[in-house]
Amino acid sequence: MNNVIIIRYGEIFLKGKNRDYFESLLIKNIKVALEDYDYKFVRTQGRYFIEDFSEDDGYEIMEHLKCVFGIYSLSYATKVPTNFEGDFKEVKESLKTLAKEINEENTILNPTFRVTVKRADKRIPMKSYEIAGELAGVILATVRFKVSLEKHDYEFMVDMRENGYSYVYSKVFMGAGGLPVGCSGKGMMLLSGGIDSPVAGYMMAKRGMKLFAVHFASPPYTSDKAKEKVIELKEIMEKYAGKIKLYVVPFTDIQMEIHKSCPSEFMITIMRRYMMRIATILAAKEDCKSIVTGESLGQVASQTVESMTCTGATTDLPIFRPLIGFDKEDIMTLAKKIGTFETSILPYEDCCTVFLPKSPAIKPRLAVVEKAEQAMWEVGEELMKKAIENVEII
């Protein structure tokens, strides 16, 4: 008897001619996610199998796989010889064990079940439903469940494969879905220490985007703790998105200059414009063809259509804001699901809470903002250069 994990992939199945490319990315990402474990990877038509791993690692391997985008669903199965000449002896044994396990956890009154057999091994002389009938007998003799083909509480699956082995299981776990990271190009994500931006990055990675990150820090107004928090967020995201290179940009001088030279009502808008400019320069270094932010329409003054028009005007790259139509509640739910929430709510200031004006412009006009910015144009160019020279790469 032998434990295996069955991996089913979803959407990439549909991609016709590109399928090989999508699959090779998915396989690469699976291997990266499992780099700390010993196992054998088996590729077949439509499914992969993780085999020959240590029993102790099984749970962790499964948890890692649940985070890999492009995987639709997963099952933990037992692999046994089909042995049809021996009356499916080993299959029956493993079904008995499985039925007992399920029975122990069962809380349903008068539970029902069915057995579903897939017979890919055409050497077996019986039909699938005949085998299923015979196997159901074993379960009936083991636990007090009733058969119900249409509606049932439990389904026992037996895949009898061409290689002479059967895979026996009952649970199907949902994978992370989406597309394999790397198939949708690269994006530079603006990663604050807040709740929203990690969720935004997660959503882009789910659609196959490889992420880079930039964080604007304002020492000494922001502490090392704030930076560590961002690094921790990046590390949580890496479970899903693979390795993320993070740029930490010293932003204090630029903020001071804006504070000094520009009208306070435009402070935030202009600050965001400098963030975008720097993000665009860093994006070019990494060949990123887009920028990602955690903005959500109307959430704060800097996230009105007018404000986003002003920030967007500083870059030629498309800016993706996957949370634009989300309520804060929904974003928080997702943040909890992906595991970033607890870190995001740690109380360390990020740069935007420093020098906040009392009444920021809610509907800034681009022409007016551009004019307001003129006062610091040349200094601004210098300061940007300096900030990029002093960037810290993590």
Chain residues that interact with ligand ATP, rule: CB under 6 A: 190-192, 194-197, 214-216, 293-295, 299-300, 302-303, 350-352
Residue whose CB is less far from Mg ion, 182 or 250 = 250
Residue whose CB is less far from ligand ATP, 210 or 229 = 229
Count of residues engaged in binding Mg ion, rule: CB under 5 A: 2
Partner in contact with 295, chosen from ligand ATP, Mg ion, none, beta carbon below 5 to 8 Å by kind: ligand ATP
- Which residue minimizes CB distance to ligand ATP? 194
Question: In angstroms, what is the C-alpha Rg of the chain?
Answer: 27
CB burial string 120-143: b at 16+ within 10 A, e below: ebeebeeeeeebbebbbebbeebb
Residue whose CB is less far from ligand ATP, 102 or 191 = 191
CB 71 within 8 A of CB 33: no
Q: Is 208 in the site for Mg ion (CB under 5 A)?
A: no
Residue 390, number of CB atoms within 10 A of its CB: 11
Q: Is 192 in the site for Mg ion (CB under 5 A)?
A: yes
Residue whose CB is less far from Mg ion, 192 or 304 = 192
Residue whose CB is less far from Mg ion, 12 or 291 = 291
* Widest pairwise Cα distance in the chain: 87
The correct pick among 175, 182, 187, 194 for binding Mg ion (CB under 5 A) is 194
Provide, rounded to whole angstroms, the least separation between the CB of residue 393 and ligand ATP.
15
Provide, rounded to whole angstroms, the least separation between the CB of residue 215 and ligand ATP.
5
Q: What is the DSSP string of 60-90?
A: HHHHHHTT-TTEEEEEEEEEEE--GGGTTHH
Residue whose CB is less far from ligand ATP, 211 or 352 = 352
Distance CA 115, CA 92 (A): 12
CB 320 within 8 A of CB 203: no
| Helix axes 377-389 and 252-261, enclosed angle (nearest 10) | 170
User: Distances from the Cα of 348 to the Cαs of 134, 295, 304, 334, in angstroms?
Assistant: 63, 20, 26, 21
Provide, rounded to whole angstroms, the least separation between the CB of residue 110 and Mg ion.
53
Provide, rounded to whole angstroms, the least separation between the CB of residue 267 and ligand ATP.
13
Provide, rounded to whole angstroms, the least separation between the CB of residue 223 and ligand ATP.
13
Residue whose CB is less far from Mg ion, 206 or 272 = 272
Provide, rounded to whole angstroms, the least separation between the CB of residue 214 and ligand ATP.
6
Distance CA 196, CA 25 (A): 28
Joined tokens for residue 173: 């776990």
Partner in contact with 302, chosen from Mg ion, ligand ATP, none, beta carbon below 5 to 8 Å by kind: ligand ATP
CB 33 within 8 A of CB 176: no
- Interacting residue ranges for Mg ion, rule: CB under 5 A: 192, 194
